[in-house]
A and B are shown apart, each in its own frame.
Chain A
């Protein structure tokens, strides 16, 4: 293949070659339109493209909306009642009557300890034999013991603090003469008053879907063309590198935008996520996010030129970081500083934060502008390297 190309080139006169070089540097709109048309047809005729662009987003959104839930509801705990005193029984009843805990009663802690070990319960509360005398003693003494499953720190915290609350409330309700709690906090959740984690997860999931379409699909499709040699056929035409790259990416840009609209419609009408910002802001954000996403895919394929490598690198550098380091599931503030520094390089980080804002809070341009600028500059950076790596000859 290499030899053939050089042969054709050596057959030309120097004049012809210079003309061709000149032509290839000029940006020609007609040629670009033709290329875009050709690439669109090629993309639409490939059934796997349609599958990734339309079926995968729907499946992913459903998964994230229904399977992933960070809400704490009906946590199963055990209540071990070792004492028969009426006060102990009324405390056990207080535990059974709460909304967030689902209580398994027991008389012996060994019964429930095994259930905690096997993960059937998240923890248990022990009301000790001498509960009554502890309660009556003038020196403050611990009343109950709470054992939690520390392998899930979050749920463990919740069980501990909730159990504490139950005991305190019970104590306050029992001794009517005791003063009310000194300080009461009144939580108000802005933007998400019902506290449904689905509402912040679905906008984040749209960012993941867009990364898959933008980066993975582009990387795979273009790498496949390098593998099959069809890229060389396109390179041998007079079209310039920029025209070829834009032609290749245009269909995926449009696919990405259509997928955004479809995901948004799903989010609003099926998952009940409000869109408090404007559709214009949402589309602008998505369009700008596609620059780094497509640029990254293009860069990966240009460097690897091989589907296996491209898929691995796209997974590793595109999908996983946007899943784990974007603040979609895991709070960026809680990460160690050096990982926080890495998250600034991940375009999805800016997109997730903007999407959550545009869906739940509204058009807060103070959030959008820096995010848009960051996404655009990462994108331009990827494109510059990708263009350098895509040469019009096959010698490199």
Chain B
């Protein structure tokens, strides 16, 4: 410790440090490079580095004419993380949208979806996710399942508890 202190008290070293400071700060371009990027980085990258899913585009391919698939579609459209819901008319269209990265996930409702729910069976919808974005895709599935659970709870209002869990973050 004493040694270290002596090293810094050393006039020669101090002079050299001062000189290096000057040589970096003397040039206006160097000055800019030392001070501007950290500020910009702080601003830009703080906003950019988010692992949340927002503004997601979802495709919906609905074979079902019943109430619950429309309910589900409407809730997905209203959800906070969704930017736009594209309605597609064929499997090829759906495939193309995922291939071209236009949507991160696609919901496909079979024709007996609402009928199954009305008959107290389980309505099964397929979610197709773009695995190139595996992380965002998994989060999207999580969000969609919450919506599905909500719609399911509406459908079975009297028989099921709406949400048996309280969450605090």
A183 with B165: in contact, given A312-B37, A330-B49, A333-B104 (CB under 8 Å)?
A: no
A196 with B165: in contact, given A316-B41, A333-B56 (CB under 8 Å)?
A: no
Taking CB atoms and an 8 Å cut-off, the chain A residues in 330-344 that contact chain B are 330-331, 333-336, 339, 342
Q: Decide if A182 touches B129 in the complex (CB within 8 Å).
A: no
Could you count the A-B residue pairs with CB atoms below 8 Å apart for me: how many are there?
Answer: 223
Using a Cβ–Cβ cut-off of 8 Å, how many residues does chain A contribute to the interface with B? 74
Using a Cβ–Cβ cut-off of 8 Å, how many residues does chain B contribute to the interface with A? 74
Contact pick for B133, options A164, A200, A320, CB 8 Å: A200
Encode contact with B along A119-132: 1 for CB under 8 Å, 0 otherwise: 00000000000000
What chain A residues lie within 8 Å of B4 (beta carbons)? none
A308 with B30: in contact, given A72-B138, A191-B131, A316-B37 (CB under 8 Å)?
A: yes
Q: How far is the CB of A1 from chain B (nearest CB, A)?
A: 19
Q: Decide if A178 touches B127 in the complex (CB within 8 Å).
A: no
Select from chain A the residue with minimum beta-carbon distance to B155.
A182
Q: Decide if A331 touches B99 in the complex (CB within 8 Å).
A: no
- The segment out of A29-37, A149-157, A226-234 that lies at the interface is A149-157
A185 with B33: in contact, given A180-B121, A320-B41, A331-B136 (CB under 8 Å)?
A: no
Q: How far is the CB of B124 from chain A (nearest CB, A)?
A: 5
- Inter-chain CA distance A188–B126, complex, in Å, is 7
Q: Decide if A179 touches B120 in the complex (CB within 8 Å).
A: yes
What chain A residues lie within 8 Å of B162 (beta carbons)? 140
Q: Decide if A182 touches B117 in the complex (CB within 8 Å).
A: yes
- Inter-chain CA distance A340–B149, complex, in Å, is 32
Contact pick for A143, options B57, B159, B165, B168, CB 8 Å: B165
**B47 interface residue per 8 A CB criterion:** yes
What chain B residues lie within 8 Å of A153 (beta carbons)? 51-52, 169
What chain B residues lie within 8 Å of A308 (beta carbons)? 24, 30
- Inter-chain CA distance A194–B37, complex, in Å, is 39
**B111 interface residue per 8 A CB criterion:** no
A70 with B134: in contact, given A147-B168, A333-B104 (CB under 8 Å)?
A: yes
Taking CB atoms and an 8 Å cut-off, the chain A residues in 341-362 that contact chain B are 342, 353, 356-357, 360-361
What chain A residues lie within 8 Å of B1 (beta carbons)? none
What chain A residues lie within 8 Å of B169 (beta carbons)? 148-150, 153, 156, 160
A360 with B132: in contact, given A189-B137, A333-B104, A334-B53 (CB under 8 Å)?
A: yes
What chain A residues lie within 8 Å of B135 (beta carbons)? 70-71, 197, 331
Encode contact with A along B30-52: 1 for CB under 8 Å, 0 otherwise: 10011001001100110111111
Encode contact with A along B142-164: 1 for CB under 8 Å, 0 otherwise: 10111011011101100111111
**B166 interface residue per 8 A CB criterion:** yes
Q: Decide if B132 touches A184 in the complex (CB within 8 Å).
A: no
- Inter-chain CA distance A191–B130, complex, in Å, is 7
Q: Decide if A190 touches B128 in the complex (CB within 8 Å).
A: yes
**B122 interface residue per 8 A CB criterion:** yes
Q: Decide if B48 touches A146 in the complex (CB within 8 Å).
A: no
Q: Decide if A339 touches B99 in the complex (CB within 8 Å).
A: no
**A193 interface residue per 8 A CB criterion:** yes
Q: Decide if B161 touches A334 in the complex (CB within 8 Å).
A: no
**B11 interface residue per 8 A CB criterion:** no
A366 with B100: in contact, given A182-B122, A182-B152, A195-B134 (CB under 8 Å)?
A: yes
Binding site for B on A (CB under 8 A): 70-72, 140, 142-150, 153-154, 156-158, 160-161, 163-165, 167-168, 171, 178-193, 195-197, 199-200, 304, 306, 308-309, 312-313, 316, 320, 324-325, 329-331, 333-336, 339, 342, 353, 356-357, 360-361, 364, 366-367
The 5 closest A-B pairs by CB, nearest first: A192-B131, A182-B152, A150-B169, A191-B131, A189-B131
